């Protein structure tokens, strides 16, 4: 007993190890594997995206440099045309050639070291001249870093004033020991209207390029919202630094859609893999639990069978010894002892037959010979076979069936075994009350029903009574091996039917099985 308890304790410890150590470890490992798989896939995808962005950025920088050089070239052309000895002569030195050497420059101013305008020319009328001078003196000049500007250095101011965009180029010069300043007003509308279309003249340039301000409002070009995360932008570094040039890769919509699809696919694959692993763990737990329960039922089955075998053997041996030694009080006692020996031998034989048949079923070695036959005859044979047990237990068994029952394809011996097991089960749990055996005819099958008038089956046991080795805890003290109803279910399924158990409304249990009626032969 101590060894048996020690083995049970070890089994429980192993089971606890599986539940509380191995399973969480597998789940954690699955999570780590899924995370690193996702991380690796994301990094590879990111490398591809970065390569696309890098190649697009080279193109953006090239275009930005062209615009920058265009503005600076215009600045230098104007500077070369200005005569500081006669700054008031700008209308004769620069303006006549302005459209050729600096088409984007709208106005030129020369300032002395005090910031006074000493030379001024504009491509426009008197009103334009007056308006720009007012804006320049009142609003633009305070934002110019004139005093801190190193001589010879060219700087730019790009800002909105009064809702209008201005690009101012300015440089400090030393002339005859005096500090002077040259300021140029570039017409940004001209650059947008003339230079950007020339720079982005191709179909791809028109479709895949735009310029936006610092608030994201489009200055030039179409909306590139379709490019998603693949849109590449670069700010103009020194001239139009309030704007940003944006370029979308040629396949940006496809790449963006592919990226979203890839993310969904990756998440789906990782989720599916994790789900499969969890399902595998769940199945492992279920199989482990089922195996544990089955092992417990097997152990209980062995104990029950051992007890069932030992009891009749003990009785047979005891009464055989009494007969052998002549310790019999009368001829009547001798007859009684012989009947007991015969009864217990039949009980022992029936139990052994059940175990052998069940073992053959478990190994798949039991073969059924299905032939057309009369099921009523089989039920009557079962009653005859069981009659001696009925008389000994003092139990009455009634049998009812329709007048005309069709022949069925069946294995008569297997069917006989199933009915005997049902009768034995009903007598065993019926508490000595009458047992009813009946055969009912349905449209497509016949149903063999055995009803007792005992305590019935507990609701929790109804769905498990046909499991192998299963016995209700309430019936632990009742003899039995736990394989009788399992044999009934197996035999019914082998014939194309099924077994069923229920409690009768007025008490007792009804255990039944069905057998299909063969379809009529069209040739007959």
Q: Please indicate, yes or no, whether residues 78 and 216 belong to a single structural domain of this protein.
A: yes
Query: Is residue 508 a contact partner of residue 430, using CB atoms and an 8 Å limit?
Result: yes
- For residues 40 and 47, give the distance between their C-alpha atoms in angstroms, rounded to a whole number: 11
- The gap between the terminal CA atoms of the chain, to the nearest Å, is 67
Q: Please indicate, yes or no, whether residues 246 and 377 belong to a single structural domain of this protein.
A: no
In a domain, 275, yes or no: no
Q: Please indicate, yes or no, whether residues 62 and 211 belong to a single structural domain of this protein.
A: yes
Q: Say how many domains are in the chain.
A: 2
- For residues 250 and 68, give the distance between their C-alpha atoms in angstroms, rounded to a whole number: 25
- For residues 100 and 104, give the distance between their C-alpha atoms in angstroms, rounded to a whole number: 10
Burial of 113 (0-12, 13-18, 19+ CB in 10 A): middle
In a domain, 460, yes or no: yes
Q: Which two tokens stand for residue 219?
A: 């200055």
How much is the pLDDT for 262?
60
Strand, coil or helix: what is 472? Answer: coil
In a domain, 127, yes or no: yes
Tell me which residue of 227, 224, 231 sits closest to 253, measured CA to CA. 227
Q: What angle do CA 386, 389, 392 make, to 5 degrees?
A: 150
Q: Please indicate, yes or no, whether residues 381 and 237 belong to a single structural domain of this protein.
A: no
Query: Is residue 240 a contact partner of residue 167, using CB atoms and an 8 Å limit?
Result: yes
* Helix 484-494, helix 331-362: angle, nearest 10: 50
Collect the ranges in the chain with pLDDT lower than 70: 1-27, 29-55, 228-229, 250-267, 269, 294-312, 315, 319, 343-344, 346-347, 350-351, 353-367, 469, 471-482, 521-524
40 lies in which domain range?
23-250
How much is the pLDDT for 3?
44
How much is the pLDDT for 55?
64
pTM score, two decimals? Answer: 0.46
How much is the pLDDT for 379?
92
In a domain, 444, yes or no: yes
In a domain, 384, yes or no: yes
Q: Please indicate, yes or no, whether residues 236 and 375 belong to a single structural domain of this protein.
A: no
Instruction: Decide which of 222, 250, 278 is a domain's last residue.
Output: 250
How much is the pLDDT for 476?
54
In a domain, 272, yes or no: no
Query: Is residue 45 a contact partner of residue 262, using CB atoms and an 8 Å limit?
Result: yes
Q: Please indicate, yes or no, whether residues 243 and 371 belong to a single structural domain of this protein.
A: no
How much is the pLDDT for 204?
73
In a domain, 289, yes or no: no
Instruction: Decide which of 193, 225, 250 is a domain's last residue.
Output: 250
* Residue written as token pair 């032939």: 371
426-439 pLDDT, tens digit each: 888 887 889 999 99
Q: Please indicate, yes or no, whether residues 97 and 240 belong to a single structural domain of this protein.
A: yes
Instruction: Decide which of 250, 269, 285 is a domain's last residue.
Output: 250
How much is the pLDDT for 47?
46
Give the CATH number for residue 426.
Answer: 3.30.565.10
| Pairs from 301-306 (Cβ < 8 Å, separation ≥ 24) | 301/469, 301/481, 301/482, 301/483, 304/471, 304/479, 304/480, 304/481, 304/482, 305/351, 305/355, 305/481
- For residues 407 and 387, give the distance between their C-alpha atoms in angstroms, rounded to a whole number: 25
Tell me which residue of 242, 123, 125, 119 sits closest to 183, measured CA to CA. 119
Strand partners, 490: none
Would you tell me how many other CB atoms lie within 10 Å of the CB of residue 17? 11
Strand, coil or helix: what is 169? Answer: strand
Q: Please indicate, yes or no, whether residues 90 and 230 belong to a single structural domain of this protein.
A: yes
Strand partners, 51: none
* Residue written as token pair 């199945």: 283
What DSSP string runs through 294-308? Answer: HHHHHHHHHHHHHHH
How much is the pLDDT for 516?
93
In a domain, 297, yes or no: no
Q: Please indicate, yes or no, whether residues 229 and 376 belong to a single structural domain of this protein.
A: no
Give the CATH number for residue 231.
Answer: 3.30.450
- For residues 404 and 412, give the distance between their C-alpha atoms in angstroms, rounded to a whole number: 19
- For residues 256 and 53, give the distance between their C-alpha atoms in angstroms, rounded to a whole number: 13
């Amino acid at each position: 007993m101590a060894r048996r308890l020690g083995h049970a304790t070890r089994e429980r410890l192993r089971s606890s190890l599986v539940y509380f150590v191995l399973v969480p470890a597998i789940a954690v490992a699955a999570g780590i594997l899924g995370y690193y798989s996702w991380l690796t896939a994301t990094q590879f995808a990111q490398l591809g995206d970065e390569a696309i962005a890098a190649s697009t950025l080279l193109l953006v920088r090239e275009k930005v440099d062209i615009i920058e050089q265009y503005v600076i070239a215009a600045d230098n052309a104007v500077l070369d045309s200005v005569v500081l000895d006669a700054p008031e002569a700008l209308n004769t030195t620069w303006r006549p050639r302005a459209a050729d050497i600096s088409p984007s420059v709208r106005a030129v101013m020369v300032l002395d070291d005090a910031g006074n305008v000493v030379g001024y020319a504009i491509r426009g009328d008197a009103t334009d001249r007056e308006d720009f001078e007012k804006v320049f003196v009142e609003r633009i000049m305070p934002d110019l870093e004139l005093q801190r500007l190193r001589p010879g250095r060219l700087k730019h101011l790009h800002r909105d004033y009064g809702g209008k965009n201005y690009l101012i180029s300015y440089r400090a010069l030393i002339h005859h020991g005096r500090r002077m300043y040259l300021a140029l007003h570039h017409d940004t509308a001209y650059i947008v209207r003339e230079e950007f279309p020339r720079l982005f003249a191709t179909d791809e340039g028109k479709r895949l390029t735009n310029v936006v301000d610092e608030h994201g409002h489009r200055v030039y070009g179409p909306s590139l919202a379709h490019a998603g995360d693949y849109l590449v932008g670069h700010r103009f570094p020194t001239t139009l630094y309030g704007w940003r040039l944006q370029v979308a890769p040629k396949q940006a919509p496809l790449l963006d859609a592919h990226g979203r699809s890839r993310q969904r696919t990756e998440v789906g694959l990782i989720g599916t893999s994790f789900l499969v692993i969890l399902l595998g763990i769940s199945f492992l737990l279920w199989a482990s639990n089922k195996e544990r329960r089955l092992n417990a039922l097997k152990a209980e089955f062995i104990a029950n069978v051992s007890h069932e075998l030992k009891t009749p053997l003990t009785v047979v041996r005891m009464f055989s010894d009494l007969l052998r030694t002549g310790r019999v009080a009368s001829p009547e006692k001798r007859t009684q002892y012989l009947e007991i020996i015969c009864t217990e031998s039949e009980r022992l034989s029936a139990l052994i037959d059940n175990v052998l048949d069940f073992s053959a079923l478990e190994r798949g070695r039991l073969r059924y010979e299905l032939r057309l036959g009369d099921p009523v005859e089989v039920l009557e044979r079962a009653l005859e076979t069981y009659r001696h047990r009925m008389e000994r237990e003092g139990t009455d068994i009634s049998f009812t069936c329709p007048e005309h029952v069709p022949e069925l394809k069946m294995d008569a011996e297997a069917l006989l075994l199933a009915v005997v097991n049902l009768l034995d089960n009903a007598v065993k749990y019926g508490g000595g009350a009458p047992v009813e055996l009946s055969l009912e005819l349905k449209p497509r099958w016949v149903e063999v029903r055995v009803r007792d008038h005992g305590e019935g089956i507990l609701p929790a046991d109804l769905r498990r009574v046909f499991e192998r080795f299963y016995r209700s805890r309430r019936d632990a003290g009742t003899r039995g091996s736990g394989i009788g109803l399992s044999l009934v279910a197996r035999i019914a399924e082998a014939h194309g039917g099924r077994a069923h158990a229920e409690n009768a409304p007025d008490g007792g249990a009804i255990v039944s099985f069905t057998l299909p009626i063969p379809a009529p032969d069209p040739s007959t």
